[in-house]
Each structure stands twice: as C-alpha cells, then as structure tokens.
Structure 1
Amino acid sequence: MHFKYKDVLTPRQHVLESLLKLRYISQELIALNLRLILQNWRRPSQLFAGILQPLMWLVLFGALFQNAPVNLFSSNTKYGHFLSAGIIVFTAFTSSLNAGLSLMFDREFGFLNRLIVAPLTSKESIIYSSALFMSVFSILQVILIIYACAFLGNGIINNNGLLLITLIIILITLGITTLSLSLAFILPGHVELLAFIVVTNLPFLFSSTALAPLSFMPSWMQIIASLNPLSYAIETIRFVYQHDIYKLNSIMIETIWRHWTLQEVILLFIFIDSVGIYIMKRFLLSKFRG
C-alpha cells in the first residue's frame, strides 16, 4: 500500500502548503510581468502605435462626419460622441489580438523552451502572466483614449461609468487574449499570426456597431453585427456615455431578435471568457504538464 506525501498532512499543513504555493506563483507572475514590461520599455513603438492608431481613427473619422446632422446616427448625439465607444473597444481589441506575438517570438527564438523546463511552481504562470500584462496594458490605453475623447469634446463620464467601462474592457481583453495566446501555439509562425490579426481586425470593426448603428445596416449585416460580441461591448459603453444612471436591468443593446440588459451583457462575456479559458487549459496547458 502506497502513501502520498499529501495523505499524511494535517488540514492546517494543507492550508500552509497552499498559501506557500500561492506565494510562489505570485512571485512568478511578478517576475514574468517585469520581463514583459522591460520588453515594451525597450521597444516603446508598440505602446505608441497602440495609442496613436485609435487617436487617428477618432480624429479622422470624427472630422469626416463632423458636418453630419445631429440625428443622423442617434437622436441626440454627434458623431464624435457616437464614435468614442467604438474606438475604446477596438483599442482593447487590437491590443489583445497582439498578445500572442511576444509568446510566438519566444517560441521561435527558443526562449519558451527555457521557461517550460525552468523550475516554476506552475507552468501556467507563463500564460497567465501574458493575460495579466495585456489586461493592464489595455486598461491604460483605454484610460488615455477616454481622456483624449474628453479633450476633443466627445463626452465625459463619471467614476461609476469609468468602473463599468474598465470591467467591460477586462472581460473583452481576457477573451481575446486567450484566443491570441492559443494561436501562438497552434499557428506555425509569427507571419501566420500577423496575417490572422490583419485579416480579423477590419472585418470585426466593420461588422460591429462601432462606426454605424444597426438601423443603418442592411438586414444581412444586422445579423452579423448582432452576432459580433464587440457590438455588445460598444453599445454598453455608448450607453454609459449617454446616461449617468443605469441599473443591471437597463437595456444596453437592441439586436434584431431581442433586447439585452447590462446583466445579460456581463454574463455573456463571462461565458465567452470561461469557454476560452477552458479551451486553453484543455488543449494548450497540457503541453506544459506533459
């Protein structure tokens, strides 16, 4: 009869062992995130591009439709106000799509193999550190875009609205980041990953409500926009810009088949993120444990 080490531990020792393991994992996450911070500090072009690109979209598209009637896109909103929510969401979306690039380069240069064979308490820290870094990175970008929108006169939000936008951005970033990190293992190289990012970005942009409301779209495109999860995030943030008071049962978006409340939108993104994390743990993290 064989006994395992954990079989002879008391409940208190189990708790102490779990706390010690959690401490080591947190140290690993901090160390791996510091490495990612140093990478971006030495190559700040990614940070500048992530800020300049949405600002260019905001300024150019806002100027393109600045003389449009006020009620062209909604009953009481100018196009600059209407566009701000779409720019905020796609800032986080684009950054999250790029999350797998650093992991792909580590894989191609052989550094990922060194991390895998390193004496880490949890190999999953390699994945979770990238997801954590990208979430913080996206939030910082979005905060800058929000202040830029306010500076351009495209709306000011209160503290509660800022917290809700932060929650939505975290939920978006987590789901897209898990997809990008998964592709960093599935695709053969960074060329294919870059091609996927380029091909994916614009279709998701134009098939959402970022640039125009559902009522402006043909019926077939309304179906696609209603299936696009980014539309739900955009309309939620747009609602926050237009209303100071909202509840969990407030209607955020009216799709072609039903109305969605704030609570349902949040649950939808939690479900999408849960599926993405499950797939990543099931098919990718098994490589670390093998």
Structure 2
Amino acid sequence: MSQSLSTDLSQTNSLADFTQETLALTKRLFIQLQRRPSTLIAGVVQPFIWLILFGALFANAPSGTFGNDANYARFLAPGIIVFTAFSGALNAGLPVMFDREFGFLNRLLVAPLASRYSIVAASTIYIVVLSFIQTAVIVLASAAVGAGLPNVAGLGAIALIVLLIVLGVTALSLGLAFALPGHIELIAIIFVANLPLLFASTALAPLNFMTKWLQIIALANPLTYAIEPIRYLYLHQDWGLTSIVLASPWFSISFAQVIVILVMFDLFALVAIQPLLRRRFA
C-alpha cells in the first residue's frame, strides 16, 4: 500500500511540475508577444481588410447567389474566421524553429524538465489563445459589416470548431519545426500552403461554383469541414447535431459528423508528429 501511495504522489508531483513548466513557457511566449505585438495586430487587421474588400467586391451579386437570405458578408465571415485561425496555427512552429536556431531549445532539452512535452503544450496553448482573440475580433467586425451574430450556443460551437482546427494544424506546424533544417524552409512551406488551401476550400465561394476536380480537392481539405458548420450557424438559428451542414454531389455530412472528422484530423496530426517528437525529445 505504501508503494501504491508513493506512486500516486510521484504522479501528482509530475503533473504539478508539468503544469508549472507549461505555464512558465506559455508566459514566456506572451511576454514576447507583449514586446512585439505586431503579430497579433497583423493577424486581426488582415482579415478585417479581407472582409471589407471581398464584401465590397461581391456586394452587388444577384440575390440568392450565396444561399437564401445570405449576403456575401454573412457567407464570407466563416471563411475568414477559419482561415485566420488556420494561418495563426500554421505559424505555430516559427517560435520553436527560432528557439532551435538561437540555441534556446537545446538549453530547454538539457534542463531537468518533468516532461519535454511541456514545450509543445505551451506553444499549443499560446496559439489557441491567440486564435480565440482573433476569432472574437473577426466575429464582432463581421457583425458590424452586416454578417449578423449567431446565438450564444452558436458562438460556443464556433469556439469548439476553431479549437479543433487549430489543434490539428498547430501539431503539424510544430512537427515541421522539428523536422525541417531551418526557418527558411518552414516559411517556404507556409507560403506555399497558405493561399492554395484557402482557394481550395469553400471560404470564398460555395462548393457548387467549383469544377468537379476542385470540388474533390475542397472535400479533402480540412478547412472546408471547419468553414461549413460555422457558415450554417450564421445562416440558421435553429441547428442541432443532426443538421446537414455540408452537401456535396456525392454525400451529405451532419454537424456531428463534421466534429468527428475534425477530431480524426487532430488525432492524425498528433500521431504523425509523434516520431519527430520522440526523436527530438529522446
């Protein structure tokens, strides 16, 4: 019994140490943000400009083009929300990469940490908080330009969907930060992936506007499965887990199924980066 008690105490202490390390590393990232807030400012200003410009571009589109009772601002807002969160998560690996290049990561790895996974946890918490801040600003800005606001339950569902897409993309970005030789290669991948994934999703245009081959790509794009349920929330006050949020020529997907797909995407990302983390943290 004493051995079991000792094991429980050891696990409790390890969890407390892991939490303390994670919070300390997260605080460091926010101190860096406080000293250089341009990252957060740019992450809020850019999507707001997109809302204004694209909203003006399609302001005179024929009624019903983007669905019943939907102006383009309401149609566009979910795409901007998800793309902003995606872009921030895609950049999650950059601070880790710079820590690698400046030697700070090596100092952490030789430090007596309870778990080196606190480095990954801190980066994830930091990106999630930034994404929520950006999402809140975009939701308010889109309401100001005519997109309206979902109900309280809808806002909670939006937060869940943003969290799920951010977790998966952040994991992949951190994996790249540990796998690639330097920040030039990581930035190149970010630039190459960013806009093609935006245009190969339903962020800017409905699925039925696309050619068949682009529809297939869009249906393989995780962003589509985050955008469509949020768009449904903007267009429908009455919604539920069985509501069909994505209809394609080949299948239809409900709200609950979209959540499952996003969770599977997160699990895939976490499994994919495990060999890289083990190699780095071994």
TM norm structure 2: 0.97
* Offset of residue 23 of structure 1: 0.8
User: What is the CA–CA distance in structure 2 between the aligned matches of 1:207 and 1:122, rounded to whole Å?
Assistant: 38
User: What is the CA–CA distance in structure 2 between the aligned matches of 1:167 and 1:235, rounded to whole Å?
Assistant: 14
For residues 258-273 of structure 1, what are the structure 2 equivalents within 5 Å? Answer: 258-273=251-266
2:32 matched residue in structure 1: 39
Q: Which amino acid aligns with 1:192?
A: E
User: What is the CA–CA distance in structure 1 between the aligned matches of 2:229 and 2:172, rounded to whole Å?
Assistant: 23
Contact map agreement 2:179 2:276 (CA 8 A) in 1: no
Q: 1:125 and 2:111 equivalent? A: no
User: What is the CA–CA distance in structure 2 between the aligned matches of 1:153 and 1:210, rounded to whole Å?
Assistant: 17
Contact map agreement 1:124 1:285 (CA 8 A) in 2: no
1:199/1:9 CA distance change after superposition, 3 Å: farther
DSSP 3-state at the match of 1:157: coil
Q: Which amino acid aligns with 2:62?
A: P
Contact map agreement 2:84 2:134 (CA 8 A) in 1: yes
Q: 1:167 and 2:160 equivalent? A: yes
Contact map agreement 2:82 2:162 (CA 8 A) in 1: yes
DSSP 3-state at the match of 1:67: coil
1:142 matched residue in structure 2: 135
Q: Which runs of no fewer than 5 residues in structure 2 stay unpaired?
A: none
The CA RMSD measured in Å over matched residues stands at 1.2
User: What is the CA–CA distance in structure 2 between the aligned matches of 1:11 and 1:282, rounded to whole Å?
Assistant: 32
* Offset of residue 287 of structure 1: 2.1
Q: Which runs of no fewer than 5 residues in structure 1 stay unpaired?
A: 1-7
Contact map agreement 1:89 1:234 (CA 8 A) in 2: yes
* Offset of residue 9 of structure 1: 5.1
DSSP 3-state at the match of 1:72: coil
Q: Which has the higher contact order (CA 8 A, sep 6+)?
A: 2
User: What is the CA–CA distance in structure 1 between the aligned matches of 2:204 and 2:131, rounded to whole Å?
Assistant: 21
> What percent identity do the matched residue pairs reach?
49
2:104 matched residue in structure 1: 111
Contact map agreement 2:225 2:261 (CA 8 A) in 1: no
User: What is the CA–CA distance in structure 2 between the aligned matches of 1:120 and 1:12, rounded to whole Å?
Assistant: 23
1:25 matched residue in structure 2: 18
User: What is the CA–CA distance in structure 1 between the aligned matches of 2:34 and 2:249, rounded to whole Å?
Assistant: 45
1:88 matched residue in structure 2: 81
DSSP 3-state at the match of 1:245: coil
Of the three residues 4, 22, 28, the one matched with 1:11 is 4
TM norm structure 1: 0.94
2:51 matched residue in structure 1: 58
Moved more, 276-285 or 154-163: 276-285
2:95 matched residue in structure 1: 102
For residues 271-286 of structure 1, what are the structure 2 equivalents within 5 Å? Answer: 271-286=264-279
Q: Which amino acid aligns with 2:177?
A: A
